[in-house]
Chains A and B, each alone.
Chain A
């Protein structure tokens, strides 16, 4: 058969190795860039000493930069990027729609409403996370049922539109809370948080969010091959022997948990969940067993790179959400223009 009909010919091992290498380069760069540059050898010595409980013998300031300042931040960028990309890949497979993502489905906005409510009520980290999760889950459920009950239209379009419309409503809820918030104390906190930033992430946030992120990843990883079958037509998947409703719920809950936990750490960072899985799919094909690890690696690497950029291109920090939007919008438009060619 003519080779023009063959799909991407890269071997999975090669793709994963290159993604991993790219990720490591991004991490090392993230440590190296900044007012206090950390070289690779400094970094390995500090981390080695930290892992073994000894001392590196290096300057205490350098140790603090690695362990208390850049370390948690790089770690947060890794986790948030991986979570958003994995959740995006799962939503896209599940909704059979390459144009959905946590932000387009309204999950991020729902989680944001929950988290802003938590800040507004001056609640603790755990409560903020729980509210974010509840908000995200409520949003995805609403979008799903709206899209399901509107019949006779292109389902691809209805799903995206339902997400956009609900996102606008949730945005209004956030605006209302901002309007009511204490302008000296809460309002700046809410505003900075909504723009998306990892600047204020500390180790405590990480300990609170990591278990949720990993718990959300679990169903995605365990069901990774089954998710392929779910991306077929629903009746077809059932005729093949898959109880679609139950598995779909497990995956949606997992992806939403990851998104909400990420939103609770970093605020709303758009576009990663949309663009990264798309690129990963171009490399690996749609098979979720390969798509998931590559999305995770690329998502983590991308956010580490963007975060490094965010704190180094200007004298002040550029909010992450702003930066990913500038990078993501042209990519999304390009994707919209080419999606029809590759998916029908």
Chain B
């Protein structure tokens, strides 16, 4: 299973946001999309998912033009985790997660035993079992985000697209979600996620794509692409990249912003 964009232009009719985006995601890898506010990460994701029409170029799912696929066919290949939001009706966490099964349930049917099992497994994987019968309107922002991720897992698509899955989470939950994302990729799912924290790319990404001014500035493995110079250009602030020695013996890059107290490198 591959999800690819070929020379994709995205935006809204009369207001193009980005151009010439080409990227490819295969099963088992985490591709992390970095970009400042307003660079169009969400719009790009929605275009990849076919929720917005491509303004040019094409989206390919397994090599087939996504425009020719039904919503149901797309949903069986790609699931989507939107940014956590309020709910209109007080559905329980279990009911929300079950809705992830809709592409597997025929038009007039209700969820069967196997759908319930898939939803339970997804909730279990994200530690939501205790919240299953609580109303979605009564849980915290972080728990909502985890619920939406569980719904995407229940969808059992080979590729997951996540729009800032860590945005509403506290420090501990951010790490836990990144662990889950890594685990998903290690068990064969392809993950495309956006984040505002470059360190997240160091933590879990196999490849990084940098979106700047509506175009891909750089794409590649984190160690090569995530240079201080690239990050400075991307975010417009001075950045120091440094290597931290871990007690286990390994090393990891971390990204530090500079300039707040007048420091320079």
**A182 beta carbon closer than 8 Å to chain B:** no
* Residue B72 interfacial (CB < 8 Å): yes
In the assembled complex, the CB of A280 is this many whole angstroms from the nearest CB of chain B, namely: 12
A250 and chain B: residue at smallest CB distance:
B107
22 CB < 8 A contacts A-B: A5-B138, A5-B139, A7-B133, A7-B134, A93-B89, A96-B88, A225-B111, A226-B107, A228-B95, A231-B88, A232-B88, A239-B79, A240-B99, A240-B102, A241-B102, A242-B71, A242-B72, A243-B70, A285-B135, A286-B95, A343-B87, A343-B89
Contact pattern, B 105-136, Cβ under 8 Å of A = 1, otherwise 0: 10111110000000000000000001101110
Closest to B50 in A: A238
Chain A nearest Cβ from B101, distance in angstroms? 9
Q: Using Cβ atoms and an 8 Å threshold, which residues of chain B touch A238?
A: 50-51, 71
Q: Which of A271-293 contact B (CB under 8 A)?
A: 281, 285-287, 289
Residue of B whose beta carbon sits closest to that of A289:
B110
B-side interface residues toward A, CB under 8 Å?
46, 49-51, 70-72, 74-76, 78-80, 82, 85-92, 95, 99-100, 102-103, 105, 107-111, 130-131, 133-135, 137-139, 151, 155
**Closest chain B residue to A156 by CB distance?**
B88
A235 B46 Cβ-Cβ under 8 A: yes
Q: For the complex, what is the distance from the CA of A224 to the CA of B111, rounded to whole Å?
A: 11
Task: Please determine whether A223 and B74 come into contact, CB atoms closer than 8 angstroms.
Answer: no
Cα–Cα distance between A315 and B12 once the two chains are bound (Å): 64
Across the interface, do B102 and A96 meet the contact criterion of CB distance under 8 Å? no
B134 in contact with A6 (CB, 8 Å): yes
Smallest CB separation, A209 vs chain B (Å): 25
Residue numbers in B under 8 Å from A286 (CB-CB): 89-91, 95
- Tell me whether A116 is interfacial, beta carbon within 8 Å: no
Query: What are the interface flags for A228-260 relative to B under an 8 Å C-beta threshold, 1 for contact and 0 otherwise?
Result: 110111011011111100000000000000000
Number of residues from A at the complex interface, CB < 8 A: 34
Known contacts A228-B95, A240-B102, A1 near B130 by CB under 8 Å: yes
Structural contact, B100 and A240, CB atoms closer than 8 A: yes
Given A225-B105, A235-B46, residue A344 in contact with residue B51 (CB < 8 A): no
Q: Check A343 against B133 for contact (C-beta < 8 Å).
A: no
A98 within 8 A of B: yes
Q: Which residues of B contact A5 (CB under 8 A)?
A: 134-135, 138-139
B-contact 0/1 string along A280-315, CB 8 Å cutoff: 010001110100000000000000000000000000
Note all chain B residues with C-beta closer than 8 A to A343.
Answer: 87-90, 137
Nearest 8 Cβ contacts at the A-B interface = A241-B75, A241-B103, A286-B89, A239-B80, A96-B88, A241-B72, A225-B110, A222-B108
Which of the listed residues A225, A240, A281 has the most CB atoms from chain B within 10 Å of its own CB? A240
Is B137 in contact with A240, judged by CB distance below 8 angstroms?
no
Nearest CB on A from B83, distance (A): 11
Query: Within 8 Å CB of A41, what residues of B?
Result: none
Within 8 A of B (CB), among A321-344: 342-344
Q: Which residues from A are CB-within-8-Å of B92?
A: 7, 285
Task: Please report the C-alpha to C-alpha distance between residue A236 and residue B155 in the assembled complex, in whole angstroms.
Answer: 13
What residue in chain B is nearest A3 (Cβ atoms)?
B134
Residues in B whose Cβ lies below 8 Å from that of A93: 89
List the A side residues contacting B49 at CB < 8 Å. 239
In the complex, what's the smallest C-beta–C-beta distance from A7 to chain B, in angstroms? Answer: 5
Instruction: Determine if B90 and A241 form an interchain contact, defined as CB atoms under 8 angstroms apart.
Output: no
A186 interface contact, C-beta 8 A: no
Supposing A96-B89, A233-B85 touch, asked if A243 and B71 sit within 8 A by C-beta, the answer is yes
* Distance in angstroms between the alpha carbons of A144 and B78 in the assembled complex: 30
Q: Check: A29 CB closer than 8 A to any chain B CB.
A: no
CB pair A240–B108 under 8 Å, yes or no, is no
Give min CB distance, A339 to chain B, whole Å.
11
Which A residues between 179 and 230 are near B, CB-CB below 8 angstroms?
222-226, 228-229
Cβ of A56 within 8 Å of any chain B Cβ, yes or no, is no
B70: nearest chain-A partner, CB-CB: A243
B-chain residues with CB within 8 Å of residue A6 when the two chains form the complex: 133-135
Give A278 to B75 CA distance when docked, in angstroms.
Answer: 32
